[in-house]
Chain A
């Protein structure tokens, strides 16, 4: 066993880093859309993920139909919640980010309490479809089957997201709104409608991530905060407005959280934030351009 010290022990953490990174990507993509496009700092984003997670815990019963149902219900509930946040934000959308942050933070606190009130203070169990509730052999190691499948599904979601943003009219409008919101308004498309649409789409993404990611980052009283924090780190690392940047940042966060911890466990508490500080220090100009754009 001691012979394979160089590379072998790190196969599973590296693979897990991909699963983790893709989950963080799907969760953070919504936040990037909100902030980059609508210029809204939605601190209730983690709560939208938690809604998806609790839905999964409530509806999953170990069969495939329940997964489809949970995905549908979770996405619809989180989308509606995203639209609700957009509705609450209509009056303060033009104001500073501090106002938005305060309002959405309040929504996050209230939403978190409502979820705990509805589902209880314990972390509810999440039952994945029985066929995936085990482990499979990967290069001589055991790895959770669900996570392996999740990698495929999340990669598909990421590809789909890329296509939507790049190829569809909605995606083009959204990208146009990032570059020049006034010009889009001149084209006859209300920025307010784009804002509602983007927040709802962000909610849908967070809801989908919450349902599919529930077996990985499970629902509980701390879930919303944890997901929000990871998403914010990804937003900072990846820069705004770029899905490719977000994907790379999310994958990096995944590897830092798994491979990084396996390689340097004593540095685990601050690896992620050290990486974030480093990127900020080196890429300060990138952040400055973002500031002026919003």
Chain B
């Protein structure tokens, strides 16, 4: 009996508390946006815990690097950066985004590692009419009127390298990748463009081999199939620990002498250290490499190395660029920085100077039209690094 009353009371207290919590921020900020002189509040959502925390931390650090090298200001305005943890995916991303959008009432949202998280957060963005400048995950979206990405679409790396592989390899190519949306997109981008260029897949049924994800940690049986197919080269996409397993086992397998081409994430960031010697000579395609020779990149890499061990990744670069995009958009939005004005200003930016080289938003997909680079894992001083060995196609839109 006493238990039920206390439960009732507790429920009432909880309801009251919830009301207070909801009301408080609503009173504090009548409306999203910042008038003249007030700091501009930006929300950054990224995986600071869980499987993708290495990527998430690069995204956070890339954005903060832009702020710290620009006096903490974007568009001449003081910035208050509110960071929230995306966790492993949609389940943790939605409550964190809800807090940023409804409680903190940020003027713009950036970051987000997972494509699934972006898809789950997009209804919230549509509801609150806050522009989103994503720096990594990019799912299939119907309405991109307030969604922008500084990264890439998942099928673009494969599309960009297909012609080069066709020209370089005398014979057939075996396509293999992880069995999930990202893997399908990455490999489809390659196989479609490769077929269009007249290339032939070595896979027995003419279709990409997909390995269970993330369950596959031993790739030896797949290497046996590649060997049996008589392929002359391999194209793949893996990221994270699967990339480490794939590359290390490939180097000791019976197909180790076949050239390996990949979407750049196979050897990007922390995974390259884990792969070590096994990664040597792998060709990959990416929109960035720390050794690109342009003024923006030299400044970016120097500033990054002053604060971090090792070279910046494409993830950090994309987030740095998201800050650059917001910098110019907020400046263009004038005195009254509202989400609507920032969004309109992003649409008018035109060419954007970046460590990756100059790029611009595609008017249809709101993702970059950018140049892709062919890189090879080579010795750079004491460490192995992704060295640019050539330009590939400009892809996007």
A residues contacting B by CB (< 8 A) are: 1-2, 4-5, 8-13, 16, 20, 120-125, 127, 133-135, 141-147, 215-218, 220-222, 226, 257-262, 265, 268-269
A143 touches B224 (CB 8 A): no
Kindly identify which residue among B214, B220, B228 contacts A16, using a CB–CB cutoff of 8 Å.
Answer: B220
A12 touches B215 (CB 8 A): no
Kindly identify which residue among A10, A123, A146, A259 contacts B274, using a CB–CB cutoff of 8 Å.
Answer: A123
> Please, which residue of chain B has its CB at the minimum distance from the CB of A271?
B212
Chain B: minimal CB distance from A253 (Å): 11
Residue B394 is within 8 A (CB to CB) of chain A in the complex: no
User: Would A262 and B214 be within 8 Å (CB), given that A142-B253, A144-B253 are in contact?
Assistant: no
11 contacts between A and B (CB under 8 A): A9-B224, A9-B228, A12-B254, A123-B244, A141-B254, A144-B253, A146-B252, A218-B245, A222-B214, A268-B212, A269-B212
A221 touches B225 (CB 8 A): no
> Please, which residue of chain A has its CB at the minimum distance from the CB of B223?
A12
Q: Give the CA-CA distance A1 to B277 in the complex, in Å.
A: 29
Q: Give the CA-CA distance A182 to B318 in the complex, in Å.
A: 65
Binary contact readout B218-262 vs A (1 if CB under 8 angstroms, 0 otherwise): 101111110110100000000011001100110011101000000
Kindly identify which residue among A120, A123, A141 contacts B241, using a CB–CB cutoff of 8 Å.
Answer: A123
> Please, which residue of chain A has its CB at the minimum distance from the CB of B53?
A121
Chain B: minimal CB distance from A57 (Å): 9
Kindly identify which residue among B218, B220, B222, B253 contacts A265, using a CB–CB cutoff of 8 Å.
Answer: B222
User: Would A143 and B254 be within 8 Å (CB), given that A122-B270, A122-B274, A265-B209 are in contact?
Assistant: yes
Chain A: minimal CB distance from B136 (Å): 16
A144 touches B252 (CB 8 A): yes
User: Would A269 and B179 be within 8 Å (CB), given that A143-B254, A144-B253, A262-B224 are in contact?
Assistant: yes
Kindly identify which residue among A135, A257, A261 contacts B256, using a CB–CB cutoff of 8 Å.
Answer: A135
B220 touches A13 (CB 8 A): yes
User: Would A10 and B179 be within 8 Å (CB), given that A16-B218, A121-B54, A144-B249 are in contact?
Assistant: no
Residue B211 is within 8 A (CB to CB) of chain A in the complex: yes
Q: Give the CA-CA distance A265 to B224 in the complex, in Å.
A: 11
Q: Give the CA-CA distance A265 to B240 in the complex, in Å.
A: 22
A142 touches B252 (CB 8 A): yes
Chain A: minimal CB distance from B275 (Å): 7
A258 to chain B: which residues have CB within 8 Å? 218, 220-221
B225 to chain A: which residues have CB within 8 Å? 9, 262, 265
Kindly identify which residue among B218, B269, B273 contacts A20, using a CB–CB cutoff of 8 Å.
Answer: B218
Binary contact readout B303-338 vs A (1 if CB under 8 angstroms, 0 otherwise): 000000000000000000000000000000000000
Q: Give the CA-CA distance A33 to B273 in the complex, in Å.
A: 37
Residue B276 is within 8 A (CB to CB) of chain A in the complex: yes
Q: Give the CA-CA distance A189 to B273 in the complex, in Å.
A: 50
Kindly identify which residue among A4, A215, A220, A259 contacts B221, using a CB–CB cutoff of 8 Å.
Answer: A259
Q: Give the CA-CA distance A32 to B217 in the complex, in Å.
A: 23
> Please, which residue of chain B has its CB at the minimum distance from the CB of A217?
B217
- 7 closest A-B pairs by beta carbon, nearest first, are A122-B270, A262-B221, A144-B252, A9-B228, A142-B254, A269-B212, A261-B221
> Please, which residue of chain B has its CB at the minimum distance from the CB of A147?
B252
Chain A: minimal CB distance from B42 (Å): 25
Q: Give the CA-CA distance A143 to B255 in the complex, in Å.
A: 10
Q: Give the CA-CA distance A269 to B215 in the complex, in Å.
A: 8
A268 to chain B: which residues have CB within 8 Å? 211-212, 216
Q: Give the CA-CA distance A62 to B51 in the complex, in Å.
A: 28
Binary contact readout B271-283 vs A (1 if CB under 8 angstroms, 0 otherwise): 1011111000000
Q: Give the CA-CA distance A261 to B248 in the complex, in Å.
A: 19
A9 touches B227 (CB 8 A): yes
Chain A: minimal CB distance from B231 (Å): 10
> Please, which residue of chain B has its CB at the minimum distance from the CB of A230?
B217
Q: Give the CA-CA distance A259 to B254 in the complex, in Å.
A: 16
Q: Give the CA-CA distance A147 to B218 in the complex, in Å.
A: 12
B252 touches A125 (CB 8 A): no
B276 to chain A: which residues have CB within 8 Å? 125, 127
Q: Give the CA-CA distance A230 to B277 in the complex, in Å.
A: 29
A1 to chain B: which residues have CB within 8 Å? 227-228, 230
A226 to chain B: which residues have CB within 8 Å? 217
A145 to chain B: which residues have CB within 8 Å? 252
B274 touches A16 (CB 8 A): no
Q: Give the CA-CA distance A22 to B269 in the complex, in Å.
A: 33
> Please, which residue of chain B has its CB at the minimum distance from the CB of A9?
B228
B270 touches A221 (CB 8 A): no
Q: Give the CA-CA distance A255 to B269 in the complex, in Å.
A: 33
> Please, which residue of chain A has its CB at the minimum distance from the CB of B277?
A133
> Please, which residue of chain B has its CB at the minimum distance from the CB of A270?
B212
B224 touches A222 (CB 8 A): no
Interface centre among B57, B253, B277 (most CB of A within 10 A): B253
Q: Give the CA-CA distance A5 to B294 in the complex, in Å.
A: 52
A220 touches B241 (CB 8 A): yes
Known: A123-B244, A258-B218. 14 other contacts (CB 8 A): A2-B230, A9-B224, A9-B225, A9-B227, A12-B220, A12-B254, A13-B220, A13-B224, A16-B221, A122-B274, A123-B240, A135-B254, A141-B254, A260-B221
A133 to chain B: which residues have CB within 8 Å? 277
Chain B: minimal CB distance from A147 (Å): 8
Q: Give the CA-CA distance A145 to B252 in the complex, in Å.
A: 8
B240 to chain A: which residues have CB within 8 Å? 123
A122 to chain B: which residues have CB within 8 Å? 54, 269-271, 273-274
> Please, which residue of chain A has its CB at the minimum distance from the CB of B227?
A9
Q: Give the CA-CA distance A2 to B204 in the complex, in Å.
A: 11
A13 to chain B: which residues have CB within 8 Å? 220-221, 224
A5 touches B228 (CB 8 A): yes
Chain A: minimal CB distance from B271 (Å): 7
Kindly identify which residue among B224, B252, B254 contacts A10, using a CB–CB cutoff of 8 Å.
Answer: B224
B244 to chain A: which residues have CB within 8 Å? 123, 218, 220
Interface centre among A4, A146, A262 (most CB of B within 10 A): A262
> Please, which residue of chain A has its CB at the minimum distance from the CB of B225?
A262
Q: Give the CA-CA distance A144 to B228 in the complex, in Å.
A: 18
B273 touches A125 (CB 8 A): yes
